[in-house]
Amino acid sequence: MDQNDRAPGQRDKVALITGAGGMKGVGRAIALKFARLGVDLALSDVQLNAEDKHPNQVRTGWRGIESVAEEVRALGVRCLTVTCDLGDSQQIHALVKQTVAHFGHIDILVNNARAIMGADKVPITELPEEVWQHFLTINLTAPFILTKLVAQEMIRQGNGGRIINIGSDTSKRATRMGAAYGSTKQGLVALTQAAAQDLAPFGITVNCPCPGSINTDRLSYWERAQAEAKDMSYEEFRATIVKEGVDATPLGRIAEPEDVANLVAFLVSDDASFITGQAYNVNGGLLFH
């Protein structure tokens, strides 16, 4: 893609996306969508051990953000990859500094990364404090730090900007055995609303897509444990979870990563310049709040 062929309003834009290394994940779908629009990319994710990866990623030799980077570069955009543990604030600072040093600016931030689910899926009376703190750190504190640092850069640049926080249907309605995840995702909506008001005078919008179940390959410790208990493969048990989601959804399917990416692409476009502080459901009619 030639620089002059990029979509109107997206030429010379740079987006920083966290949690972008999944083979069938929302981060990758957003990266590919942006690349097709001509947006240059900084992709970040944590370095996972083999036991923390989806079996498909292990079998295929998927290399996380490096594999995604190859795909987006083939679409004609520039791409920087930075491994970052969002539990370490110094690494977050370094991520933003590296992105600015490499591209000179950041125009879009997508806080997509989340803690791996499963260890939190217990009644609140059995929820370990360290698990609670981990979810708080990854799902809420890291987006706060990134929003703060990237917004400072956007204000310095003086051209406005777009910040997207990927929420969840639990941002609207908590579930049993989901105190840590639901609390952090509801907190992310509050962060979105507060930041939207603080940053509006600078032309920076902040919004929060809230998807329901998504057909991704992000590992769930709970699903893996359930599969082992039922003497099933992880993929077989995951298929039963997907079917339950399909049966419960009015539109007859669960979300694909691209469904979320399409909304994100709209929210960062010029067409959405008057939209800020909003939390949009992406759930096929399962939840309306």
CATH of the domain at 159: 3.40.50.720
Is 280 noted as a catalytic residue in this protein? no
pLDDT at 218: 66
**Residue 11 pLDDT grade (very low, low, confident, very high; cuts 50, 70, 90):** low
Domain count, the chain: 1
Cβ atoms 110, 30 nearer than 8 A? yes
pLDDT at 86: 98
Cβ atoms 247, 253 nearer than 8 A? no
pLDDT tens sequence across 30-71: 999 999 999 999 999 998 877 777 777 777 889 999 999 999
| 35, containing H or E segment | helix 26-36
The model's pTM: 0.92
Name which of 58, 90, 68 is nearest 20 in CA terms: 68
- SS3 percent helix, strand, coil of the chain, rounded to 5, is 50, 15, 35
The answer to whether residue 5 is domain-embedded is no
pLDDT at 6: 52
Domain that holds residue 163: 11-282
The answer to whether residue 239 is domain-embedded is yes
Q: Which of 181, 221, 234, 280 is catalytic?
A: 181
Where helices occur in 76-128 by DSSP H, the ranges are: 89-103
Residue 275's contacts (CB-CB under 8 Å, 6 or more residues apart) are 205, 207, 267
| CB-CB neighbours of 254 under 10 Å | 24
pLDDT tens sequence across 130-142: 999 999 999 999 9
Mean pLDDT of 21-26: 92
The answer to whether residue 185 is domain-embedded is yes
Residue entry with tokens 């699903």 = 223
The answer to whether residue 211 is domain-embedded is yes
pLDDT tens sequence across 59-114: 788 999 999 999 999 999 999 999 999 999 999 999 999 999 999 999 999 999 99
